[in-house]
Copies of this chain bind each other. A is one copy, B any other.
C-alpha cells in the first residue's frame, strides 16, 4: 500500500490510473476507522481495480465550537486497517496542503442542507461538499462509497454529483452496528461508560418508530413522540432533533405516504450522535 501525503502526488497517481484505464474506488474518511468504515472499504474494493482510502480530518466542516481538536485520531491503526483491507493507496494530506491560505472557493448545497444537522451545524455541509469536490478531483474515482449513517450527507453528496456532473458512481453502504444496536461512529470512542450504556437509546427509538410504522402508524407527529419517549428514558441524552422528512427532498413530512427518512441527533455530554432509518410505506 502506497501512502500519499501531498495532493499533487495524489492527482498524479490518479491521472496515471486514468491513462491506464483502471477503475478507481474511493472511500473518504476522517480516520479512526471502525467496522463501519471497513464495510465501505470492502464494498469499494469489490467494485474497482484500484482502491484509495483517504484519512483527513477536514477542519472546514467543523464549526469553531465543535470537536475538531478532540476528534479521535489513531494513525498507526488506520494505516494497518487500510493495508489489511486491501487499499492500494492511503491518502492522508495535511490541511495546509489541502487549503491555500487565501482559499476562497466553496461548493454550496442550498436545499437539502437547510434542515436536520444543518440547523445546529451551520457551514458543516459547505465544508463537506467542498472537501469532497476537492477529493474527487484529486482521486478521480470511478466509484465512491459513502455510509448511510450520515444520511443527510449522503443525499447532499448525491445531489452535488448530479448538479455538478461529477463522473463518479456513488454507492451507499448500510449502517454497521455494535452488538447492542449502537451505530458505529468514531465519536463513540469519546463516550464515558455511562454514556455508552445509554447511547443505545437512538437505536431503541428507531426500533420503536419502525414497529409503530409496521403496525400502521403513518402520522409523523405520533412517530416523533414515540422516538422522543425512547430517548428521554436515557437521562444523559439531550435531543438535538427527531425528524421525519421526505427521503429525497428532505422536506418535512406530516403523513407518511412516500419513503421517509426518520433521522435523530442526540447530544451526550461527550459526543453528539446521529442515527436514522428509512420508512417505506
A-side residues, CB < 8 A to B, are 7, 11, 14-15, 18-19, 21, 99-100, 102-112, 129-130, 133-134, 137-138, 140, 159-160, 162-167, 249
Would you call A105 and B160 a contact (CB within 8 A)?
Answer: yes
A99 to B163, CA, bound (A): 7
Q: When the two chains form the complex, which single residue of B100, B105, B112 contacts A108, counting CB atoms closer than 8 Å?
A: B105
Closest 5 CB pairs of A and B: A105-B163, A104-B111, A137-B165, A104-B110, A19-B21
Q: Which residue of B lies closest to A103 (CB)?
A: B163
New contact pairs (7) apart from A107-B107, A137-B167, CB-CB < 8 Å? A102-B249, A104-B163, A105-B108, A134-B165, A137-B164, A137-B166, A140-B167
Given A18-B18, A21-B19, answer yes or no on A164-B112 (Cβ-Cβ < 8 Å). Answer: no
Would you call A111 and B106 a contact (CB within 8 A)?
Answer: no
Would you call A129 and B105 a contact (CB within 8 A)?
Answer: yes
Q: Which residues of B contact A104 (CB under 8 A)?
A: 109-112, 159, 163
Q: Which residue of B lies closest to A130 (CB)?
A: B164
Secondary structure of the A contact surface, majority rule: mixed
Q: Which residues of B contact A133 (CB under 8 A)?
A: 164
User: Among A100, A130, A133, which residue has the most Cβ atoms of chain B within 10 A?
Assistant: A133
Would you call A109 and B102 a contact (CB within 8 A)?
Answer: no
Q: Which residues of B contact A100 (CB under 8 A)?
A: 162-163
A33 to B33, CA, bound (A): 53
Would you call A111 and B107 a contact (CB within 8 A)?
Answer: no
Q: Which residue of B lies closest to A114 (CB)?
A: B104
Q: Which residues of B contact A102 (CB under 8 A)?
A: 111, 249
User: Among A7, A19, A137, A159, which residue has the most Cβ atoms of chain B within 10 A?
Assistant: A137
Q: Which residues of B contact A18 (CB under 8 A)?
A: 18-19
Would you call A107 and B110 a contact (CB within 8 A)?
Answer: no
A196 to B39, CA, bound (A): 66
A167 to B136, CA, bound (A): 10
A78 to B232, CA, bound (A): 66
Would you call A164 and B15 a contact (CB within 8 A)?
Answer: no
